[in-house]
Chains A and B, each alone.
Chain A
Amino acid sequence: MIPGLGAYYRPDRLEAALMLLAQEPAARILGGGTDLLLEHEPLHAVVDVTQLGLSHIRAEPEALVIGGTARIEVLQRDPIVRAWADGVLVGASMHFGTLQVRNMATVGGNIAHALPAADLVPALLVLDATVELARATPSGDIERRVLALDGFATGPFQTALLPGELLLAVNVPAHTRPWRAQFRKIGRVVKDLAQVNCAVALDTEEEVVRTARIVAGAVHPTVTRVPEAEAAVLGATIGSADWPVRVGRAVEAVRAFIRPISDMRATREWRRHVCGILVRRSLEWVADPRQAGRVPDLADGPSYCVGVQPEAMR
């Protein structure tokens, strides 16, 4: 039961949805409801946006386009997504929650909810994703704009979304060379909100890092890129004697940058330490040519220790 809910709208045209959102400032946008309906807070009106034809996932010449209401489970099974940047979005979707949650939760919802521990956001941020937004103006026009995902979340549960504005799609730009990327997450049990998560992506040319993206989640008011860490590995040559030094510098930069909190899920000190560890392991993974193109798999075990062999097994 959602106490107090007085109105449920399920428009089937985008224009109608945007008009409704413009007219009912108290209305909340309902995607899968796996965040909204579980807050157990009174809601007065909801606008269900799942019937607007925004659940597409397609490769365009310039970008991978993911509709705002594409479901997490659909995302992780999509062949284009699986082939994109080592399936980094699959890794982020795979440990997202139960199948029931993955079946309902939407890509747009995970972004717009702006949970600092959101799983999909680190993976999208390392891929330089942008978000496409729309709203109805008072005159009835539809106003669209595109924002970088980096900076879209402005604080815990806060975003750059204007009143009545809807997230239509996420665009992941295509690159000439495939990027190596990985998402990692650690929770108290396998199915948990992230205590810490991270993603890294590298674009390399002849083993020289041309572009680096390093993102940390659940350790900062928003899921955040760490520019100093990215700079630490930029220009480095994978496999060189310098590489581990650069990785170490990136790890230190991450730990220096983030502002984790202590809560019932973990302490600040633990989050800071472990965030560095996950970033290091991810950088080591994406630098390992043997893992190139390998899509994350459940059988790999929990993502925080994928690829780290126990001594006994070596």
Chain B
Amino acid sequence: MPETADATRTRAHATVGHSLPKVDGDKLVRGRPVYTDDVHPPGMLIGRILPSPHAHARIRHIDASAALALPGVVCVLTHADVPRVPHTTAGQSHPEPSPYDAYLLDRKVRYVGDRVALVAAVDAEVAALALGRIRVDYEILPAIFDPNDALAFGASIIHDEAESTGIADAKRNLVAVLDFAVGDVDAGFARADVVHSSTYRVPAVQHVSLEPHVVITWLDEDDRLVVRTSTQVPFHVRRLLARTLELPLGRIRVLKPRIGGGFGGKQEMTIEDACAALTLATRQPVKIEYDRTEEFAMSRTRHAMQLALRIGATRAGEITSIDMRVLSDTGAYGTHGLTVTGSAGYKTLPLYNAAARRFHCDVVYTNHPVAGACRGYGAPQGFFALESAIDELASELGMDPLELRRRNTIRAGDIDHVSAALEAKGKGWTRKIQSYGLDACIEQGASAIGWDRRESMPRHGELRRGIGVALAMQSSGVAGVDWGAAALKLNEDGTWILTMGATDLGTGADTILAQIAAETLGIGLDSIHVYAADTDLVPYDVGAYASSITYVSGNAVRRAAEEARDLVLAVASRRLDTPVSRLHCGDGRVRSDSGQSLSMQEIADLAMHREMTQIIGRASFCIRDSPAPFSAQFAEVEVDTETGRVRVLRFVSAVDCGTAINPALVEGQIEGAVSMGIGYALSEEMLYDADGRLLNPNLVDYKLVHADDMPAMQTLLVASYEPTGPFGAKSVAEVPTNGPAPAIANAIRHATGLRLTQLPMTPDRVLRALGKI
């Protein structure tokens, strides 16, 4: 009998809820060769992609003869040499909600950095020389860089090819449109005493996982294509490769070793197809590894957006109406365009129970680098606008911004009306808030930052201080779409092998999932060996994205472990002649109520040497719900009103992610998200020249926060219990990315009276807002 959630809730856990060391920690601190580029197959060639120097051009002719004449150049591929199959590079479940507008190599280039040709050579130096010797004749086309121009009549058409599908209106460069409404916004505004409206702008930024995109491909002894790649989505990559290369899916094997960070940038088939094409052409192993410049120019970005927000409230502080209109720049290809931009609305607008809410977005092509998935998936953009606007509304009402929020947030037991509106349009299911700690997050966070100091902080002079808050929520996977599977196999010595498609990209997912299995089986974490991911050997999983691992894969692991436990108990039952109902697992043993016990090794011995059976528990789990984690984040800043420089002095995050399976790893997710959010708020921005060339494709000029830029940090885990989650858990990785930018913007507002509506809030922008320059 599987335990009910309530039964597990009341029991102290041996493994779950403990900050156990990561299962892969030892090899990582030793610097063992565990990443994609750390081990090379013999005879490996170096692959490179020739990037387009133009933002928009037709390729008239490519002459690769001079490159091919170079000693050491093995292969040059152009669009004439490879299948031309429209596809999306988005690592999403089939059928993907992204347009099929990408080609392995095309006759046209659509951004500076777009693929022109592929080269394989014996080493990196020759490959680099070869790139310089490929002569390309371009017909340069007018380019679009301002998304406001994209929809204009007479604008250049970026995807004028007939083969692409799934584009809302290619002639207008319109990738997708999404709208939804709850209630009547016009009536809501009519009822409001105060209406605030403003337009917010957020730039394209980069994930900057320290490990770049890197892939090694080869043909094995059966001529199957093996792809070892730094990816968040091994199974999606396999499927996308099969389509793009016109190979039977079963002839492709994708291996995911340790990953040096992803943050959404690897939820994508980015370079795997190019590398595989070179291997198929040369029949030799090939590696493509982006350098940092290529990583900036040729991978993916967070979507730049303009968000027009109108929000109204009564004098009493009831928010009556919220209207959000978004124009989103998805760059040259539409991967993740609809879903990221839609998320700016449907992941944010459920937070406040306004009777009327409306969202509309236009997702447009431009000749910028390609935007894709990035931690938070549209929600950081949406929350920057929403949480900034809430503060302005509070100011106009003369109300404490925290109080205005308290009066309007969604609460435990509420229906998420946005999800209901989407269900009415045939998208997903209505969500009910079953676990809820937002109120506690607000109170604990406010107390930790010292919210009551706020009124007494003098806010004049050269250096001014202020405190700001931002709330946020997210989801846990995509209901009805995201699913995963897992298997737990018992070895003769009583240890277990956990195989799964879930993808640990550095988050600690392997550890958390092993903890869930260990808890369920009543064994120690050291009795479980985790193997993930190899698409030949492990069960399917959609991969690591949309804050899904703990909730989606965790539920699959939990169920697989329950099945394994039932098989273990059945063996024990036969041996001890005791009904299963009187047996239980714990401390690595099965015990009966009468005091008999068997070790896991004895069970294994019985099963494998007496009963001749393999104990293996397997389960698949598709989520029907997507419970929301909540956060309340508080920033204390110091604004230098003479230089415009903003320093974050203290930062408090209070996060409700249900049960923290491994509290230290959960804190690590939050702390990392805050550092990323501070960069988004203050320093990170991809800058282009007038021809669409990136000005800062390196870490000299694209500034991430270092340790000495970080504020004093405090992280509070607020407990709640999600009945549909494994041991009460929901997700955590994305929600704390949402708050830093608006919390810092609100703190700047508090310190200076300035409302900055554009990220990043650079010293220049602050001084301009102050009227000093």
Contacts and interface: CB of A to CB of B under 8 A. Distances in A.
Contact of A312 (B128, B458, B708, B762): B458
Interface string B633-659: 000001010111101000000000000
A191 B463 CA distance: 21
B767 A270 contact: yes
A154 B701 CA distance: 25
B24 interface: no
A189 interface: yes
A35 to B, nearest CB: 11
Contact of B701 (A265, A304, A312): A265
Given A190-B709, A267-B764, A311 B464 contact: yes
Given A189-B706, A191-B708, A311-B461, A270 B647 contact: no
A273 B767 contact: yes
Contact of A189 (B458, B643, B644, B709): B709
B708 A190 contact: yes
Nearest to B129: A3
B465 A310 contact: yes
A177 interface: no
B711 to A, nearest CB: 12
Q: How big is the A interface, by class? A: 20 to 34
A266 B763 contact: yes
A1 B124 CA distance: 9
B683 A188 contact: yes
Given A189-B706, A191-B708, A311 B640 contact: no
B128 A310 contact: no
A192 interface: yes
B325 interface: no
B773 A311 contact: no
B125 interface: yes
B772 A273 contact: yes
B459 interface: yes
A310 B463 contact: yes
Contacts of A311: 458-461, 463-465
Contacts of A310: 461, 463-465, 638
Contacts of B463: 305, 308-311
Interface string A202-243: 000000000000000000000000000000000000000000
A272 B696 CA distance: 23
Interface in B453-469: 457-465
A274 B643 contact: yes
Contacts of B696: 264
B687 interface: yes
Interface string A258-274: 00000011110110111
Contacts of A305: 463, 640, 643, 645
Contacts of B701: 264-265
A107 B177 CA distance: 58
A234 B180 CA distance: 69
A186 interface: yes
Contact of A3 (B128, B644, B763): B128
B433 interface: no
B612 interface: no
Contacts of A283: none
A296 B752 CA distance: 29
B642 A277 contact: yes
Interface residues of B, number: 37
Nearest to A310: B463
A186 B645 contact: yes
A265 B459 CA distance: 28
B683 A270 contact: no
A169 B708 CA distance: 32
B773 A304 contact: no
Interface in B721-769: 762-764, 767
Contact of A264 (B638, B687, B773): B687
Nearest to A305: B640
A192 B703 contact: yes
B530 interface: no
Contacts of B706: 189-191
Contacts of B640: 304-305, 308
Nearest to A262: B764
A193 interface: yes
A272 B764 CA distance: 11
A217 to B, nearest CB: 15
B762 A188 contact: yes
A302 interface: yes
Contacts of A3: 125, 128
A266 B643 contact: no
Contacts of A190: 706, 708-709
A274 B703 contact: no
Contacts of A189: 683, 703-706, 709
A309 B460 CA distance: 12
B704 to A, nearest CB: 8
B46 to A, nearest CB: 12
Contacts of A192: 703
Contacts of B39: none
B767 A312 contact: no
A192 B640 CA distance: 18
Contacts of B461: 310-311, 314
Given A265-B701, A312-B457, A277 B683 contact: no
A128 B297 CA distance: 45
B124 A188 contact: no
Contacts of A312: 457-458, 464-465
A147 to B, nearest CB: 30
A283 to B, nearest CB: 14
B772 A188 contact: no
A273 B647 CA distance: 19
A252 B643 CA distance: 16
Contacts of B705: 189
B143 to A, nearest CB: 20
Given A264-B701, A311-B463, A273 B773 contact: yes
A37 to B, nearest CB: 14
Nearest to B453: A312
A1 B764 CA distance: 36
B695 interface: yes
Contacts of A270: 644, 763-764, 767, 773
B1 interface: no
Contacts of B643: 186, 274, 277-278, 304-305
Nearest to B760: A188
B676 to A, nearest CB: 14
A158 to B, nearest CB: 21
A192 B703 CA distance: 8
B700 interface: yes
B127 to A, nearest CB: 12
A188 B696 CA distance: 13
Interface string B687-710: 100000001100011011110110
Interface in B425-463: 457-463
Nearest to A263: B695
A275 to B, nearest CB: 10
With most chain A CB atoms within 10 A of its CB, the pick from B687, B701, B704 is B701
29 contacts: A186-B643, A188-B703, A188-B762, A189-B706, A190-B709, A192-B703, A193-B700, A266-B763, A269-B764, A270-B773, A272-B773, A273-B642, A273-B767, A274-B642, A274-B644, A277-B642, A298-B708, A301-B647, A302-B647, A305-B463, A305-B645, A309-B463, A310-B463, A310-B464, A311-B458, A311-B460, A311-B465, A312-B464, A312-B465
A-B pairs, 10 with minimum CB distance: A310-B463, A311-B461, A269-B773, A190-B708, A277-B642, A312-B465, A270-B764, A188-B703, A311-B458, A264-B695
Interface of A: 1, 3, 186, 188-193, 195, 264-267, 269-270, 272-274, 277-278, 298, 301-302, 304-305, 308-312, 314
Given A278-B643, A312-B458, 17 more contacts: A3-B128, A186-B645, A191-B708, A192-B703, A193-B700, A264-B695, A265-B701, A267-B773, A270-B767, A273-B642, A273-B773, A277-B643, A305-B640, A309-B463, A310-B461, A310-B464, A312-B464
